[in-house]
Amino acid sequence: MCDGSNPKPIMIDKFFLYCTVVLTVIIFIPLYRVVKGPTIFDRMLGAGAIGTKTMVLILATGFVFNRFDMFVDITLAYAVLNFIGTIAISKFLGTEKGNG
C-alpha cells in the first residue's frame, strides 16, 4: 500500500484479474478492422476503438497490481494522447479529396 488506503478483499483482485483477460480478448476484435479495412477511415476508427479500450485495460491493471494512484495518471495521459491523435489525423485527412 503506497498511499495508506485500506486493502481490498481477495475477491476484488480475482475479479479484476479476470476482467483484464476478458478485455484483452475484446481488444483483439477491432484489430480485424485495422488490418482489413477498405478505406483509411476504417483503419483510423479501429485504432481509436483499440485506444479507448486500452484505457479501461490500464485501469484494471492498476487494480491488479494494487498501484491504482499511479495507473490512473497514466490513463489520463493516454486519453489525452488518443483524443489529440484522432483529431489531428481527421484534420489531415479532411483537407484532401479522394481518400474514400
Q: Is 81 in the site for another protein (CB under 8 A)?
A: no
**What's the grid cell of residue 63?**
487494480
Distances (CA, A) of 73 to 39, 49, 58: 34, 20, 10
Among 1, 10, 15, 64, the residue binding another protein under the rule CB under 8 A is: 15
Site for another protein contains 7 (CB under 8 A): no
**Does 61 participate in binding another protein (rule CB under 8 A)?**
no
Asked if 16 and 68 touch (Cβ cutoff 8 Å), the reply is no
Q: Which of 17, 24, 73, 81 binds another protein (CB under 8 A)?
A: 73
Q: Report the C-alpha gap between 79 and 91 in whole angstroms.
A: 18
- How far is it, in rounded angstroms, from Cα 61 to Cα 78? 14
The Cα 18–Cα 25 span in angstroms is 11
Question: Could you list the residues that contact another protein (CB under 8 A)?
Answer: 5, 8-9, 11-12, 15, 19, 22-23, 26, 29-30, 32-33, 39, 41-42, 44-46, 48-49, 52-53, 55-56, 59, 63, 68-69, 72-73, 75-76, 79-80, 82-83, 86-87, 89-91, 93-94, 96-100
